Amino acid sequence: MHRNARASLAVATVIAGVFAFWGGWARRWMSDDGLIVLRTVRNLLAGNGPVFNVGERVEANTSTLWQYLITAVAWLTDGRLEDIATALALTFTVLAASLGTYASGRFWQLSFRRALPVIPFGIIIYLALPPARDFATSGLEWGLALFWLAIWWALLVEWATPARRAVPSAGYLLAFWCGLSWLVRPEFALYGGVTGILLIAYPPRKTPGILAAALPVPAAYQIFRMGYYGLLTPHTAVAKSAADSQWGQGWNYMMDFAGPYALWLPVVITAAVLVLLGRRVGGRRLAIVLLVAGCALAHVLYVLRVGGDFMHGRMLLLPLFALLLPVLAVPYNRGMAALATVLIVWATVIVVRSNPVDEDNYQGKNISIVDERDFWTVAVGRERGNPPQYAEDFLGLPMMRHFTEKIAEGREEDAAQATLGLDEDDPELFEWWVRPRIDDSETDLNDLALTAYWINLGMTSMNTPLDVRVLDTVGLATPLAARMPRDLDGRVGHDKQLPEQWQVADTALDLDDLPDWFDIRGAKQARAALRTEDIAELLASSREPMSRERFFKNIRYALGPGRTLQLDDDPSTYLDAATLRAIRNGEDPGLHSDIARIAWPTR
């Protein structure tokens, strides 16, 4: 390769890495959803297993590898978890930008008869977008996901390179990497699966070796997931019901992302460049370009079908990066230089303007799509440009007033539940209340720890000790909530709600001590419904102590009811006439486990 060509490739790689680091570092922050992952990490480090709450086997994180990577680094360094998550995410983002740009430049230099200098191109588009720089940190797995895509592309380039110039084992390395795809994010199975088909097709004689490289790790984890959690997918997929179609909301999500940045301009330029350059390649090289573009577009369609997300731009960042992979760097000529100049002007405008924020969208109960970084900065009472970075920063949220003090009080009193309400002296302020445990040594419900429910699972769980049971109302860590009916008009990803009657039923709370305005009869119906066959088995799949028998029961459950079970939010539908009559007479038939046990010792 010509010296100038090698130098240009190195320069493009460094530029991509430097700007990725600068962009991510300047907008570093921690999201509430990022804190959810860290609760599982805390339990892993404490020896409680990969769970969100002690004694309840729920996989509350979408990315399996992400939680274990943070755990490994925390175990080695004993660093603060928020710092580790932020540093890891940013490191992976920088590596993804650098390696992806390098692989793209190498691809084009190998595709022409003589190696041409290359210049950064598609990476300018990606890093200009504010949400791309926001989710370079945030505590979520986006950096890891970008890194997986970049390595995937780099291995594809090696696989498509003539044997005398490529890594000899590139095909098998690529197969192994594809096997990890859905452990990074479930939808990455699209990329890994389609690539696996391509590897088997070129040539079929290598099929046994490709399968041997790709399948053992994901297959082993899938068996573990079914036996340990009783599910085929992460629990978040059950909560978010990704099987349903919401094309209208998905289109709105697309426009919310593309509109503020005039994203049509760089997309049209990228498509034109792909067509122009693609005419110069053939064979395997053309096949991998088509593969990447096809997977990225299918990923976009998937995001649109499920209705997008509630975080501005987040779910479209990964397919956008994938689509840009072949042109993160392009061969230099006057035409490409001119187009790159247009992109630089566009990117400068976007970086200077940033994301236009309408604070009116932050008010009321019908919040749909928001700039999550800016939203939490405002919500917790911090100055613009100074977003939350640690769990305690979220205690400034009005709903978290006195939260840690009340949790400490509840632990000291061995209370049953901590609940959010309004302050008795000032109804404009929020307050947490602790409610006493039922005085009944015979009920298995007293095996349940102090329980706090709140929709924002990260800030509550990371500001409480591990012996407190923290649950959400939308189902990310709560099996009952995850199986509730969807509100088709609800916020995407938060369109399920566990009614208050079910919340208090699944605690050791004395229901007769509830305020008069509460639906006590409905709560007793819900508690009795927990003992019915279908719901009791759902709870046992995550709560019954793990044993060989329970493991194999869970595998059967994962392949059966665990795939399809949906609950009715009206508990009376599960009860016979005699039970309903007993409840009308003031009894609480759901207290005792003579029919089915639903709680096991965790305290």
592 neighbors 524 (Cβ within 8 angstroms): no
Q: Based on the domain organization, do 133 and 10 belong to the same domain?
A: yes
Q: Based on the domain organization, do 229 and 322 belong to the same domain?
A: yes
- Pick from 337, 350, 331: nearest CA to 262: 350
Tokens of 178: 């594809």
Residue 56 has φ and ψ, to the nearest 5°, of -130, 110
Spans in the chain with pLDDT lower than 70: 1, 163-168, 242-244, 356-367
Q: Based on the domain organization, do 349 and 415 belong to the same domain?
A: no
**Of 353, 383, 411, which residue is a domain's last?**
353
Task: Report CA 202 to chain centroid distance, whole Å.
Answer: 34
**Alpha-carbon span 535 to 514, nearest angstrom:** 24
527 contacts: CB under 8 Å, gap ≥ 6: 505, 506, 511, 588, 589, 590, 591
Question: H helices of 120-263, where?
Answer: 122-128, 130-134, 142-160, 170-179, 181-184, 189-201, 207-214, 216-229, 235-240, 247-258
pTM for the complete prediction? 0.95
Q: Based on the domain organization, do 470 and 585 belong to the same domain?
A: yes
474 neighbors 448 (Cβ within 8 angstroms): no
Would you call 29 helix, strand, or coil by DSSP?
Answer: coil
Within the chain, how many helices (H) and strands (E) appear? 28, 6
Determine, yes or no, domain membership for 45.
no
376 neighbors 394 (Cβ within 8 angstroms): yes
Q: Based on the domain organization, do 204 and 344 belong to the same domain?
A: yes
Residue 62 has φ and ψ, to the nearest 5°, of -70, -40
Determine, yes or no, domain membership for 40.
no
- Signed CA dihedral, 32, 33, 39, 45: sign only: negative
272 contacts: CB under 8 Å, gap ≥ 6: none
106 contacts: CB under 8 Å, gap ≥ 6: 9, 157
Tokens of 28: 């570093």
Q: Based on the domain organization, do 325 and 449 belong to the same domain?
A: no
User: pLDDT by residue (tens digit) across 117-160?
Assistant: 999 999 999 999 999 999 999 999 999 999 999 999 999 999 98
Determine, yes or no, domain membership for 602.
no
**Alpha-carbon span 206 to 200, nearest angstrom:** 7
Determine, yes or no, domain membership for 49.
no
pLDDT at 116: 85
Task: Report CA 526 to chain centroid distance, whole Å.
Answer: 30
Total Cβ atoms within 10 A of residue 398: 11
Q: Based on the domain organization, do 488 and 566 belong to the same domain?
A: yes
CA distances from 570 to 119, 521, 525 (A): 61, 12, 9
Determine, yes or no, domain membership for 368.
no
Angle at 231 between CA 568 and CA 304, to 5 degrees: 75
Domain residue limits at 272: 3-30+61-353
Determine, yes or no, domain membership for 142.
yes
51 neighbors 57 (Cβ within 8 angstroms): yes
Query: Which amino acid, residue 427?
Result: P
Q: Based on the domain organization, do 281 and 341 belong to the same domain?
A: yes
**Of 290, 323, 353, which residue is a domain's last?**
353
β-strands 118-120, 329-331 pairing: antiparallel
Tokens of 101: 């740009």
Q: Is there a cis peptide before residue 203, judged by omega within 30 degrees of 0?
A: yes
Q: Based on the domain organization, do 130 and 212 belong to the same domain?
A: yes
**Of 295, 322, 353, which residue is a domain's last?**
353
pLDDT at 4: 81
**Alpha-carbon span 60 to 40, nearest angstrom:** 8
Q: Based on the domain organization, do 303 and 409 belong to the same domain?
A: no
Q: Based on the domain organization, do 241 and 346 belong to the same domain?
A: yes
pLDDT at 148: 98
Q: Based on the domain organization, do 159 and 72 belong to the same domain?
A: yes
- Pick from 108, 95, 124: nearest CA to 157: 108
What Rg do the C-alpha atoms of the chain give, in angstroms? Answer: 26
Q: How many domains does the chain have?
A: 2
Determine, yes or no, domain membership for 178.
yes
Determine, yes or no, domain membership for 387.
no
**Alpha-carbon span 524 to 587, nearest angstrom:** 8
- Pick from 112, 201, 123: nearest CA to 159: 201
